[in-house]
Amino acid sequence: MHVPYTVANEKNDGIKNWLGFAHEKVREVSLLSKMFRDEPVTETENNLINANLKIIEEKKVSLKVNNPSFQQRIKNISKFERVDAYSTRMSIQKKAFKFPALPTTTIGSFPQTEEIRKIRSDYKNNIISLGEYEDGIRKYIDGCVAFQEEIGLDVLVHGEPERNDMVEYFGEMLLGFHFTANGWVQKLWQQVCKTTGDLWRRKQARPHDNTMDNVRAKQNKKDNERYADRARHYFELVFCQGGYCPVGGFQANRLGAQ
């Protein structure tokens, strides 16, 4: 349920021999049980053991799990705490956002309509251009924003029409994560997603993060331009991990919540 069936159906993209799904794990557990009881292993099983030891050593030095530039950045970190106290940051937030005492909002993702699913599928299969895809996405976002304005919400969301499964969408936007092609597992209730693996044990946004472009689409209405821009900065703080991250004239660490 929570582990894909077999790695045999995955592409050989440099890490396939590192993986072991349900089918492979059963074989490995059976072999480990024989070794634990000091039972003799076959020549084939012994070859598997030696091959696995070789894979482990290769993985230790692979650039797929080691990022020298990032390791150097970690060593150079000298600032581990925010400049201002929580009370100071909250005061800045209240003045910047001017929200009521109990601001209203909604879940970030609106219903994924058949039209939106078709637009994503057509773009993925090169049936429509990037421009046509973006026009369809922006049209949906405009509708989401207009609906929230109509019912009087304070904190608007853009509806997330550009993403499929959240785990897969954000994982594909981060270096150091790998997604399976056919390794479906159960996520929530009757939902399924493709398995992802954290290769580098770290998170860093790709050079061009489309999420920010889609969030900026909320700024197409003059009355909400100032709010949407500041809300975007607040969202980007998540990727700064609480560090000093100057964004568009604001100091993200000064606007961050506790």
Residue at a domain's end among 50, 69, 88:
69
Q: What does the pLDDT read at residue 249?
A: 35
In this predicted structure, the answer to whether residue 203 has a pLDDT above a threshold of 70 is no
Residue at a domain's end among 51, 69, 87:
69
DSSP states along 7-43: GGGS--SS-GGG---HHHHHHHHHHHHHHHTT----H
- Number of domains making up the chain: 2
Residues 38 and 28 in one domain: yes
What's the CA gap between 183 and 156, in Å, rounded?
35
Residues 93 and 42 in one domain: no
Q: What is the mean pLDDT of residues 42-71?
A: 90
108 token code pair: 């970030």
Q: What does the pLDDT read at residue 152?
A: 93
Q: Pick the more confident residue, 3 or 127.
A: 127
* 255 occurs within a structural domain: yes
* 241 occurs within a structural domain: yes
Q: Pick the more confident residue, 189 or 185.
A: 185
Residues 19 and 62 in one domain: yes
Residues 25 and 40 in one domain: yes
* 114 occurs within a structural domain: no
* 82 occurs within a structural domain: yes
Residue at a domain's end among 69, 89, 110:
69
Q: What does the pLDDT read at residue 190?
A: 54
Residue 38 confidence class, pLDDT cut points 50, 70, 90: very high
- 65-82 residue pLDDT tens: 888 888 898 899 888 888
In this predicted structure, the answer to whether residue 202 has a pLDDT above a threshold of 50 is no
Residues 14 and 62 in one domain: yes
* 117 occurs within a structural domain: no
Residues 253 and 232 in one domain: yes
Q: Pick the more confident residue, 238 or 114.
A: 114
Sorted by sequence, the CB contacts under 8 Å of residue 154 that are 6+ apart come out as: 99, 100, 103, 104, 105
Q: What does the pLDDT read at residue 193?
A: 63
Does pTM top 0.75 for this prediction?
no
Q: What does the pLDDT read at residue 170?
A: 78
Residues 91 and 39 in one domain: no
Q: Side-chain half-sphere of 227: how many Cα atoms within 13 Å? A: 17
Residues 63 and 74 in one domain: no
Q: What are phi and psi of 192, to 5 degrees?
A: -130, 155
Q: What does the pLDDT read at residue 126?
A: 93
Residues 22 and 55 in one domain: yes
* 14 occurs within a structural domain: yes
* 216 occurs within a structural domain: no
Range of the domain at 251: 70-98+225-258
* 208 occurs within a structural domain: no
Residues 27 and 58 in one domain: yes
166 token code pair: 């959240």
